[in-house]
Structure 1
């Protein structure tokens, strides 16, 4: 099937531009002076106006594909693993994960965004693109997909997932969700992740953007060292210098893996890292 491609000009400009200009500049201007309560409306406005090229990569994450095709993942007797993708966008990763045999819930704050994701994932499940698979993988059993319009920080959407089963997600994947949030929301992001993850589940983060100065305005907000600060150390993630040193480690999570993926998006400028986390026992 012919792929729907986003505007590559925006990404080329984004890759070469100063963070205060180009695509980043448009987003920072769009969200300037918006309070925490106004963030969801800001993203919904972009969906409604069709201005989604700023985050639309046009394909599922190569780093995530390689990870799930090579990793030893937790298993559940009698059911498929359940995955949450918050801020799922058009649904590239949702469709890809379902084609790998997972039951997947994609969450979008915008109803229009959720509609687009439903349409895209439906088309991919019936006629998959080769972009959904690595070089050695072919799918044999497709999982279920649910696309929900809801606020990640609220509890009302959870009962819509997997027939109301609230035992938690086996895998949660975050790519550009944390970097889109105001810094003051980072600690709440970590808390919600601890609520949503199953006791022996994994949180997989493709950390981006790590090239951006932590003091520059977002979105996207620079995240170098932020995941460690909020997940391992249990702090608020509002830092001015990257680093992973120091005690105590009072966070609810422990990092089980940290590596540079062999493949990732060009927009990461070669700096993306994958971190894998589990809840502390």
Structure 2
């Protein structure tokens, strides 16, 4: 698929107009206003990430919801939207948390979770059928990801560290100036040995074009490994493996899996990459 043929997310033009004259510091207010005005359909995918469902069920040895003592691992989805991925993780045994800057988003996610935990939709499972097993909890928090205030609430059980973090469209919704902050914040909240899973999107978009969504060339190189902005590739091959392997020890995360997902949302199908990065 060529860059020109890649499907564009619905509502892209509207988003560009909303954010083109806003200061980076004011972007959070912009997203909150879109939730308040009922315009979340501009980016809403309507279901959990098929690529995340796949890897959770296929890589159960790598991504296990239980600790050795039987306690549940904690997962977090910053910028969780209506909470599709949070609920899916809870249905697969994690105590899952969703973080949103908008009070309206939190309320909509809580309503969605209440219904889905009782009667899950087929898209939460790879086979389309409900997998039997113990469920975890789904909790939603209001807060700014780049502030530590939200992490000191009783709702997360007194621990500010998570075993798993998932990012799909949160990173691409952030102005590139905030990408270093994103990487630093992920390193802060993921515990040593924990996993940062990224469905990397939109890889088809020229990073020089305005957003959101803002294009990027990858997440590990050079964003996680070098503290860059995810735009510069340098002398790395298209698969990103040679140079990323050489430099991975310089960052807080070590990439342990990198593959094109068999399934993904239509907006990035055929161009998305799935990466699993382990906190050192």
TM range (shorter): 0.7 to 0.9
More displaced 10-residue stretch of structure 1: 106-115 or 157-166:
157-166
Deviation sequence 1:174-206 (CA, Å, 0-9, x none): 000000001010001000000000111000000
Question: Aligned equivalents of 1:169 and 1:248: distance in 2?
Answer: 25
Q: CA deviation at 1:137?
A: 6.1
Match 1:203 to one of 189, 196, 200: 196
Instruction: State yes or no: 1:114 paired with 2:106.
Output: yes
Partner residue in 2 for 1:63: 51
Partner residue in 2 for 1:7: none
Q: Which runs of 4+ in 1 moved over 6 A?
A: none
Question: Aligned equivalents of 1:100 and 1:237: distance in 2?
Answer: 31
Deviation sequence 1:146-195 (CA, Å, 0-9, x none): 101100000111122422223x1111000000000010100010000000
Q: CA deviation at 1:49?
A: 0.8
CA 1:209 to 1:242, structure 2 compared with 1: closer, same or farther past 3 Å? farther
Question: Aligned equivalents of 2:207 and 2:269: distance in 1?
Answer: 16
1:92-241 pair list within 5 angstroms: 92-135=84-127, 138-160=131-153, 161-166=155-160, 168-239=161-232
After TM superposition, the score normalised by the length of structure 1 is 0.87
Unaligned runs of 5+ in 1: 1-13
Unaligned runs of 5+ in 2: none
Partner residue in 2 for 1:78: 70
Q: CA deviation at 1:226?
A: 4.3
Question: Aligned equivalents of 1:148 and 1:39: distance in 2?
Answer: 19
Residue 53 of structure 1 aligns to a residue whose secondary structure is helix
CA RMSD, 1 decimal: 2.1
Partner residue in 1 for 2:276: 276
Contact 2:167 2:197 in 1 (8 A): yes
Q: CA deviation at 1:119?
A: 0.4
CA 1:113 to 1:15, structure 2 compared with 1: closer, same or farther past 3 Å? farther
After TM superposition, the score normalised by the length of structure 2 is 0.88
Contact 1:214 1:239 in 2 (8 A): no
Q: CA deviation at 1:23?
A: 2.1
Question: Aligned equivalents of 2:254 and 2:130: distance in 1?
Answer: 30
Number of equivalent positions: 263
Q: CA deviation at 1:223?
A: 1.6
